[in-house]
Structure 1
Amino acid sequence: MLPRNIFKKYGFDPSLLGPRRTKSFTYRVRKEATRVEGFKDTRRTDSGRPLARVLAIEEDLERLKQKCEILQQENDFLKRVRFINRKQISKLQKDKQ
């Protein structure tokens, strides 16, 4: 199947993407197909710029504290969203009765 047809099949307009993107897409797919492991989503392992230096213990601890704080904020946000969803669902159920 031609790359142009693949993009059309999945709802992308190849003329908007341009010939360079479609060619690079084809190149990446062929490169992944030749790997021994096959296709793999590398976005989780290769995301971000790696550090060029080794962190001191204090710097590493500070980064971990910041990460922990961000995760706590995410959890609080998700708890609020769940609470709001439950509230709306119970309101809809009461309105149906």
Structure 2
Amino acid sequence: KFSEEQQKQLRSNPFIEKVSETSITYTKEFKERFYKEYHLGKGPSAILRDMGIDPTLLGKRRKDSLVRRVNVYEERIDGYQDMRGKNSGRHSIKELSDTDRIKRLEHQIRYLKQENEFL
């Protein structure tokens, strides 16, 4: 967990949008730049230092997670945009094809049957 002093230090960085005791939200620019520099062969700690973030403050686990996440962001349709709170992640049934809708309903039937057997 980040102390109040560490949170204050992180908030002062222009590449960080939000900081809480347990999480950091980076800007879109940060994620894009981190991805590019990482794939040019630069290490995560060096990239963070260049962007004014103390890598020891984050620790190994957060740095490893950051590398994984920026690689995922690069593959997403939404790219590096933070989509939390804007998308429930669940597709509307209206968007499904007939085949997918049938599969979903069959799954729901199987689930309800199991639930009834349990009761």
Shorter-chain TM-score range: 0.3 to 0.5
Tell me which structure has the larger Cα radius of gyration.
1
Higher share of residues assigned strand: 2
Bigger relative contact order (CA 8 A; separation at least 6): 2
Higher share of residues assigned helix: 1
